[in-house]
């Protein structure tokens, strides 16, 4: 006895039409082919060939280094940091000294800080560090705007707004640097 694929009732093995629903019950051409031994052997051989092909492809990809781990952002940033760090040190020193100067002295320091800003702007960070670089640029721009506001005699509120905004950008920059370069949190060097 076999089961009718249409009405699910049991019918004789030799029946080609279901006596209950009247629909043909002979297997389709596809099901006949799939039940042959040749098909089963071909399917298994095809699967073995596919696995062998994938294995060979993965082996070749591994030999060519396609699966090698990507260097950390810190490793990618070495050339950038080598150029950035001396400029960062000069900027930091100048910005620490500027607070104790007269207005005319601030003009001189501000000019050198503008030059440092342009040099840092010209650096090309790796893709992983672009956001950090942009945050530092925003920090420098707001600091320079604050110093220019002092020079031009703007109100203390205007100067404070620029300096506070610069501090916000610097704090964002610093937290991003520590997240991006965890190696720096271990090292005794200062934040780039």
pLDDT in tens, 126-176: 999 999 999 999 999 999 998 888 888 899 999 899 999 999 999 999 999
Token pair for 35: 């039940």
- Assess contact for 137 and 123: CB atoms under 8 A: no
8: left (phi over 0), alpha (psi -120 to 50) or beta: left
Token pair for 56: 């060979």
Of 25, 103, 183, the residue nearest 192 (C-alpha): 183
pLDDT in tens, 96-124: 877 777 777 778 888 888 999 999 999 99
Q: How far apart are CA 58 and CA 45, in angstroms?
A: 20
At residue 170, φ and ψ (nearest 5 deg) are -65, -40
Query: Quick one: CA torsion of 83, 166, 149, 123, rounded to 10 degrees?
Result: 20
- Assess contact for 158 and 148: CB atoms under 8 A: no
- pTM for the model stands at 0.60
pLDDT in tens, 68-89: 677 888 888 999 999 999 999 9
4 pLDDT band, cuts 50/70/90, is confident
- Assess contact for 11 and 20: CB atoms under 8 A: yes
Helical residues (DSSP H) of 22-155, grouped into ranges:
29-35, 37-63, 73-76, 78-98, 103-121, 130-152
């Amino acid at each position: 006895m076999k089961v009718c694929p249409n009405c699910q009732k049991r019918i004789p093995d030799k029946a080609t039409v279901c006596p209950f629903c009247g629909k043909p019950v002979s297997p389709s051409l596809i099901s006949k082919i799939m039940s042959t031994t040749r098909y089963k052997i071909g399917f298994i051989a095809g699967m073995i060939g596919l696995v062998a092909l994938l294995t060979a492809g993965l082996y070749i990809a591994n030999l060519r280094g396609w699966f090698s781990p990507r260097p950390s952002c810190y490793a990618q940033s070495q050339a950038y940091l080598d150029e950035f760090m001396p400029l960062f040190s000069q900027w930091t020193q100048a910005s620490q000294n500027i607070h104790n100067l007269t207005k005319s002295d601030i003009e001189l320091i501000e000019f050198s800080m503008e030059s440092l800003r342009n040099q840092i702007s010209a650096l090309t960070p790796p893709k992983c560090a672009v956001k950090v670089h942009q945050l530092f640029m925003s920090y420098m721009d707001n600091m320079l705007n604050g110093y220019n506001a002092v020079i031009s005699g703007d109100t203390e509120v205007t100067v404070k707004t620029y300096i506070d905004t610069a501090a916000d950008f610097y704090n964002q920059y610093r937290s991003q640097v520590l997240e991006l370069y965890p190696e720096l949190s271990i090292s005794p060097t200062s934040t780039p």
